[in-house]
A = this chain, B = another copy of it.
């Protein structure tokens, strides 16, 4: 599992200011500070996820968050620090869905649940998905160590679950890693290529009917192909 305070390749991103508890002196001031900081993070994620790191200016983020550029630098000491904090924050959400993969015993249920969770993530956090995608496309300059370390470990672990299903003849033989890639690609596609999907179908995952149709189409393809 990923620790709460995952740190990206030794980069110092100050997290000190988050830890203070609300019963201590200065709590109220701290709270507004943190609230505003969090608001900026959300706004910045939205901008970064569309234009990328270099395509985004601090002025753009500031004006989206309705503050001055100078003021933005008061909350985050540099553009890079802001970007790193965002990446750090979304990484945990990113990994959450796969966690519950081994507790469930029946492959059909486990796969159905996982597919649905991933698709919900594409629906509810499309910007995080796109930022992650941008980072990977650019060669994962920041997340490379994470991919080779933490992520690889989780995949190795979950692969064993799938292999157990195969040896118990609960599902047909398939490379477990390929199966995971298959689920990732089909579900994330609806966030990352949202514009293309909307251009062709006129809908996206925010449409409830479209979400359910997509979910069961992916579930059916994978499960009918495997069980």
Interface-side segment among A13-21, A24-32, A76-84, A137-145 = A137-145
A151 interfacial by beta-carbon distance below 8 Å: yes
Cβ–Cβ < 8 Å partners of A55 in chain B: 52-55, 138
Cβ–Cβ < 8 Å partners of A147 in chain B: 195-196, 199-200
Beta-carbon contact of A178 and B213 below 8 Å: yes
A78 to chain B minimum Cβ distance, whole angstroms, is 17
Counted per complex, copies of this chain come to: 2
- The B-contacting residues of A in range 174-202, CB under 8 angstroms, are 174-175, 177-179, 181-182, 184-186, 188-190, 192-193, 195-197, 199-201
Residues of A at the B interface (CB closer than 8 Å) are 49-55, 130, 133-134, 136-140, 144, 147-148, 151-152, 155, 172, 174-175, 177-179, 181-182, 184-186, 188-190, 192-193, 195-197, 199-201, 213-214, 217-218, 220-222, 224-226
